[in-house]
Amino acid sequence: GAGVSQSPRYKVAKRGQDVALRCDPISGHVSLFWYQQALGQGPEFLTYFQNEAQLDKSGLPSDRFFAERPEGSVSTLKIQRTQQEDSAVYLCASSLAQGYEQFFGPGTRLTVL
């Protein structure tokens, strides 16, 4: 059906709050990626799932960041005790497999006050 969807589109959090960002990938896409994009920069890799397995989390900036994809479809990126430097757009992308074109969602713009 439709492309990759993300919710919420915008999130404002007070410093120290926990947030959860959701990604609905394209049905049937095995690979799912999370990226962080700061203003004026390209997307930076955070983590990668192949089905429900998290194969690479080398880009997660700290142990406050956690991602899951328990049933191999929907994924959630959780940020605990948010800090101002976490403010960015968080993009989710899915693909048939790694190495193929990636389909991006619209992103969630997180602002931490």
Instruction: State which residue, 19 or 89, has the beta carbon closest to another protein.
Output: 89
Instruction: State which residue, 66 or 103, has the beta carbon closest to another protein.
Output: 103
**Distance between CA atoms of residues 99 and 84, nearest Å:** 33
Q: Which residues bind another protein (CB under 8 A)?
A: 4, 33, 35, 40-45, 48, 56, 58-59, 91, 93, 99, 101-107
Looking up tokens 């899915």 gives 94
**Under 8 Å between Cβ of 74 and 60:** no
Instruction: State which residue, 16 or 51, has the beta carbon closest to another protein.
Output: 51
